[in-house]
Chains A and B, each alone.
Chain A
Amino acid sequence: MQLRIAVRREMMAQSNRITNADASCHQEVISLEDVSFSFQQQTVISNLSFAVKERDFIGLIGTNGAGKTTLLRMIVGLLKPTSGTIRLFGEKVDRFKQWERIGYVPQKNSLNPLFPATVREVVLSGLYGRNKLFKKMNKADHKKCEDALHAMGIDDLKDKRIGQLSGGQQQRVFLARALINNPSLLILDEPTVGIDTETQESFFHMIKHMHQHHNITFLMVSHDLDMIRSYLGQEPAAGNGKLKFHIKHSHETQDCVENDLAHSLKGLREQMESRKEVVLIGDRN
């Protein structure tokens, strides 16, 4: 059975119109142009084009095997598209250098429970990118680590061996690792799987907070329809057998606030915030 992600053309056209209108202050964070991907004979993604712009919150929904993980892995450069172009912050993925701007939490970490690493060491490793090559970690780096641990509420776990934690606790550690660079884009692949309902709620609250108050752009896969529904305030349309885009513009004619002062006024900014929300919905037939 072959699965594809198809794009409804009229939706794309609409999206492009907004793109131009917003161009002055909303940069394209991720853009896909005619991207296809196949594993050997099996086409997983075909001719997919879309753009994620600054401060978007994109939820990706799809059935098992629809190609969500594959799409995310292509976007972060772990897989090469069979054809088409992917850009991050305007730069082609294979030339992209500012990886510290991106936090990525993969679907599941097949972690060896005996791996000798503390929570603190794992979170700190989020900083070990190319521009920290050969450099020793300094005080500021350790402060960032403390902050990330604090943000995820796992301060008291920092000296534990990572393998001793529960699945949900581990997931928080990986989120903290993704947050330590203060990224402007977070890419999360089913971040709440294996996390209890209570923690999930605080997690979604935190995500919402980071999106609204810290201007982080989100691209997130989740099977949690309730969460997507409540956050995006929209009923996901049923798929018709193929993955398709359902794009909703909550504030289609938004003026961009360029004034820094206005930006710093939280309430105002929330009001002015121009968000474009896309839900990818998939179904098998």
Chain B
Amino acid sequence: MEIVTSEFFQRALIGGLLIGVTAPLMGLFLVLRRLSMIGDTLSHVSIAGVALGFLIGVYPIAVGLLFAIAASFAIEKLRKAYKSYAELSIAIIMSGGVALASLLFTMGKGFNSNVNSYLFGSIYTLNDTDLYVIGGVTVIVLVAIWLQVKELFLITFDEDAAAVSGLPVKFYNVMISVLTALIISVSIKIVGALLVSALLTIPAACSLIIARSFRQSVITVVIIGELAVIAGLLIAGVWNLAPGGTIVLLLIAVLLMLLVFKRGVRTGS
């Protein structure tokens, strides 16, 4: 149990707790807008940015963030071109990101192990800079959502109604994209690029099962996100498992339990 009191574990816990609030919250808006795949796409693209960061010797998370933001704008543009076939644009950008990442990997053979830590996460290697960046992103995201939860609700629920209410829909779309890119780029070192989207989408999937109101769903995603992060880190620490994978498997376990429970309630009544 002494791992729990070690400094690297406590850093991991702080980082995890911060991401455990922001990622599920933002994920809720994405899922409700039927953009669940965006998380996965942006994280794959930001891996290319991380690789480039290592290659040119710049803070990888920052380069990853730039890539994620660029990708989110590209998705918006393509989404307009393909209208209802939005997932097409997501597939295009995602494969582009992976292709670019693999190219950059082969160009800088030396840093492969480092990049690996971004693919699967390496929460125990969070340094001070990482924590400050994660803290900053958390503040930005929470303030933005706190101030504009009504507007975000309306845009998520009914984009046309939002426009007819005079809300600047384009601005909010950009804001949602940028905030998502921010969260993803700081999350990939914690849960890994391959698993980020789970932290975004699974809590929201759980809330769709149990929440009756929007208010409840906001509370639900945060509670489930935090529980999974805390329990996942403890379990991983004690049994020496991969932290990112443990958190995600826990989330899936919670989702399955809710589904079974819900079915039980239905057939029981």
Q: A residues engaging B (CB < 8 A)? A: 76-78, 97, 99-100, 102, 104, 106, 109, 112, 114-118, 121-122, 125-126, 128-134, 137, 159-161, 177
Contact = CB atoms under 8 A, between A and B. Distances in A.
B166 A99 contact: yes
B164 interface: yes
Which of B34, B148, B214 lies at the interface centre, i.e. has the most chain A CB atoms within 10 A of its CB?
Answer: B214
A135 to B, nearest CB: 8
A106 B158 CA distance: 10
B100 to A, nearest CB: 34
A182 B212 CA distance: 28
Contact of B164 (A77, A115, A131): A77
Contact of A76 (B34, B164, B207): B164
Given A128-B151, A128-B153, A137-B150, A78 B164 contact: yes
B165 A99 contact: yes
B213 A161 contact: yes
B214 to A, nearest CB: 5
Contacts of A112: 32, 34
Given A125-B150, A125-B153, A78 B163 contact: yes
Contact of A128 (B34, B167, B207, B217): B167
29 contacts: A77-B164, A78-B160, A78-B163, A97-B166, A104-B161, A104-B164, A106-B160, A112-B32, A112-B34, A114-B208, A115-B32, A116-B208, A116-B214, A118-B214, A121-B214, A125-B153, A125-B154, A125-B158, A125-B161, A128-B153, A128-B154, A128-B162, A129-B165, A130-B166, A130-B167, A130-B168, A133-B148, A159-B213, A160-B212
Interface residues of B, number: 28
Contact of B153 (A121, A133, A159): A121
Contact of B216 (A116, A128, A132, A160): A116
A128 B208 contact: no
A112 B165 CA distance: 21
A116 B166 contact: no
Nearest to B209: A114
Interface string B131-169: 000000000000000011011011001101111111110
Contacts, number: 79
A283 B203 CA distance: 51
A126 B151 CA distance: 11
Given A76-B164, A99-B164, A99-B166, A132 B150 contact: yes
B170 interface: no
B219 to A, nearest CB: 11
Interface in B199-227: 207-208, 211-217
A29 to B, nearest CB: 15
Interface string B31-47: 01010000000000000
Interface of B: 32, 34, 147-148, 150-151, 153-154, 157-158, 160-168, 207-208, 211-217
B163 A77 contact: yes
Contact of B157 (A77, A125, A132): A125
A115 B168 CA distance: 23
A224 B116 CA distance: 64
Contacts of B158: 109, 125
B151 A133 contact: yes
B33 to A, nearest CB: 10
A129 B214 contact: no
Nearest to B217: A116
B157 A122 contact: yes
A222 B165 CA distance: 23
Contacts of B154: 125, 128
A202 to B, nearest CB: 24
B211 A116 contact: yes
A159 B212 contact: yes
A65 B165 CA distance: 26
A141 B195 CA distance: 42
Contacts of B208: 114, 116
Given A115-B32, A137-B150, A159-B212, A129 B160 contact: no
A116 B213 contact: yes
Contacts of B166: 97, 99-100, 129-131
